[in-house]
Structure 1
Amino acid sequence: MTPAAMPSLSTRELSIRFGGHVAVNQVTADFYPGTLTVIVGPNGAGKTTYFNLMSGQLPATSGTVLLDGADITRHGAAKRTALGIGRAFQLTNLFPHLTVSENVRLAVQSRARIGMNMFSRWSSHTDLIVRADHYLERVSMAGRRDTRVAALSHGDKRKLEVAILLALEPAVMMFDEPTAGMSVDEVPVVLDLIHQVKAERNKTILLVEHKMDVVRSLADRIIVLHNGALVADGNPAEVMASAIVQEAYLGTPEHA
């Protein structure tokens, strides 16, 4: 697949230090619309920290983050979300005392840029309710729309988080271990959704993932981090066939 002329998201020599420890070390990479990139590496490699630098949860010590060629390095997470970077977290980031439907409605409201209070009358905004229900149906949670989030299982919280991400309609979608903590029965729902978004070929999708079956089924491209540095970047077949990746990061071929 030939990438678009301009990347939607880029990092240039991006680094962060915590005291004397360099968690992400001068990582330069471009991410393109229509491409799903999986970021892999051993525990402590800097994968989630790199995500945090791109989505704005952490300020970079040095280097640059670009969105559609514009420097967003100094922007915080909220500003980056408004500009089109959507992030689903490894640990769910929801409003536990609101219902499932109310959580998604807030995302729909944000996307529509409507300054309506959540507790004002929704009856005058039926189009937003319909849109919120659409995203709940996509994650197979329409039947739990009136359930308070605090009562959901971990797997259902992850599915709800994906619904919220979809409702924000970001140009860049970032998933940090989207199937972590899910039961075997719950995993296909989220993977099918990511496949659907990927098939539309208009989003830039980034995943941090440990499960090699998930990596194989989704990745157009794999990036490998080790000790905060980018050590491999390419199509899945080339990266996974690399001796250094097989031995140090993905396991031996028979166990990968």
Structure 2
Amino acid sequence: MLQTTDLTIRFGGHVAVNAVSCRFEPGTLTAIVGPNGAGKTTYFNLISGQLKASAGTVSLNGRELSGLSASARTRAGLGRAFQLTNLFPNLPVLENVRLAVQAAHDGPHRRGLNLWSIWSDHAALTQRAHEILAAVAMSDKQDTPVSRLPHGDQRKLEVALLMALDPLVYMFDEPTAGMSHDEAPVILDLIRALKKDKTKTILLVEHKMDVVRELADRIIVLHNGALVADGEPAEVIASPVVQEAYLGVAPQAGATPVPHQEAA
């Protein structure tokens, strides 16, 4: 279980994320939505450790992560994909995945492998890298340098690296951003496949409400850095606060926003 408690960050006098408390359970995909500037990506950055919180905590399965670096949080089980790809551009596709497989194999409590050792000595890890590439339909590009891949394939490869790390929590920040109409379904199919593993928790920041409706088990809404709605997709999408934030529709007199709740 991933949990944030009163998570807050201030930039000068501006509170970008304001005391957000939320709990995310295994076996669920939670979409985090809100208008531009609502604090969605900043909230992700606080969870994954790219930003240091001004107040509040992040914990995973009861372990406090707040004082850990981003890399230490990755080793603890948080897997993060970014709006912009975060790959080794000069290395071939297969080598990117093999390095991620090795990182997962070594782990913080294992003796680990020699980084400079010959990969052919580690057939099991290489085989795992091939299996992951097959899962994301990129086996035919295994020898291509990442810098030569089109944007859509780079996004697919980033999902492959997350799969290689085998995290407890998958965090996707607008995974289809910059992708063509034909490319986007491939990424969404990969996320659907990840959803089948009920031991994993998935968080998704996404602007496209059709994607949110299809994939999400739950939606939380951030607005001006605060958590303003939390619930099942149909209920939250129809709520006055979401209608106003996305469509500019003023809430009717007496309308009540969907209250947020910590449990999924």
**Which residue of 1, 21, 35 corresponds with 1:28?**
21
1:53 to 46, 51, 55: 46
Aligned residues: 244
Q: State the one-letter code of the partner of 1:19.
A: G
CA distance in 2 between partners of 1:110 and 1:178 (Å)? 23
2:18 and 2:202 map into 1 onto residues whose CA distance is 22
Look up the SS of the partner of 1:202 in the other structure. Answer: coil
| Offset of residue 247 of structure 1 | 2.4
Asked if structure 1 preserves the Cα contact closer than 8 Å seen for 2:48 and 2:80, the reply is yes
Give 5+ residue unaligned stretches, structure 2.
107-111, 250-264
For each residue in 1:47-73, what CA deviation from the matched residue of structure 2 results, as whole angstroms up to 9, or x when unmatched? 000000001111000011111112111
CA RMSD between the two structures: 1.1
Contact persistence 1:100–1:145 (CA under 8 A): yes
Task: Tell me the residue number matched to 1:63.
Answer: 56
State the match for 1:40 in structure 2: 33
Deviation at 1:120, TM superposition (A): 3.2
Task: Give CA-to-partner distance per residue, 1:186-237, whole Å, 9 cap, x none.
Answer: 1111111111111221110000000111101100000100110001011101
Q: CA 1:100/1:198 → structure 2, altered by over 3 Å: closer, same or farther?
A: same
The Cα of 1:184 is off from its aligned counterpart by 1.6
- 1:144: Cα distance to partner? 0.5
Amino acid at match of 1:46: G
**Aligned-pair identity (%):** 66
Map of 2:12 onto structure 1: 19
* Residue of structure 2 aligned with 1:176, choices 173, 176, 185: 173
Q: Are 1:9 and 1:32, in contact at CA under 8 Å, matched by a contact in 2?
A: yes
Tell me the equivalent position of 2:92. Answer: 99
Residue 140, structure 1, aligned to residue 133, structure 2:
no
For residues 175 and 212 of structure 2, the distance between their equivalents in structure 1, rounded to whole angstroms, comes to 12
Partner SS, residue 203 of structure 2:
strand
Q: One-letter code of the match for 1:128?
A: L
Could you tell me how far apart the structure 2 residues matched to 1:133 and 1:186 are? Answer: 22
Q: Distance in 2 between the 1:223 and 1:172 partners?
A: 17
Q: Is the 8 A contact 1:240 1:250 kept in 2?
A: no
Amino acid at match of 1:100: V
8 Å CA contact 2:228–2:241 kept in 1: the answer is no
Structure 1 runs, 4 residues or longer, greater than 4 Å off: none
Q: Which residue of 2 aligns with 1:87?
A: 80
- Residue 116 of structure 1 corresponds to which residue in structure 2? 114
Q: Which residue of 1 aligns with 2:153?
A: 156
Counterpart Cα distance in 2 of 1:250 and 1:229: 19
Separation (CA, whole Å) in 2 of partners of 1:85 and 1:226: 24
Where structure 1 has 5 or more consecutive residues not aligned to the other structure, the ranges are 1-7
Whether 2:235 is the aligned partner of 1:238: answer: yes
2:212 match: 215
**What is the deviation of 1:28?**
0.5
Q: Output one character per residue of 1:168-193: Cα deviation in whole Å (capped at 9) or x when no partner.
A: 00011100011111112211111111
The letter for the 1-side match of 2:38 is A
1:201 corresponds, among 193, 198, 202, to 198
Structure 1 residue 115: deviation in Å? 2.8
Task: Please report the TM-score for the alignment, with normalisation by the length of structure 2.
Answer: 0.90
Deviations 1:155-178 (A, max 9, x none): 111100000001100011100011
Letter in 2 for 1:85: L
Counterpart-to-counterpart distance in 1, 2:216 and 2:103: 30
CA–CA distance in 2 between the matches of 1:33 and 1:176? 19
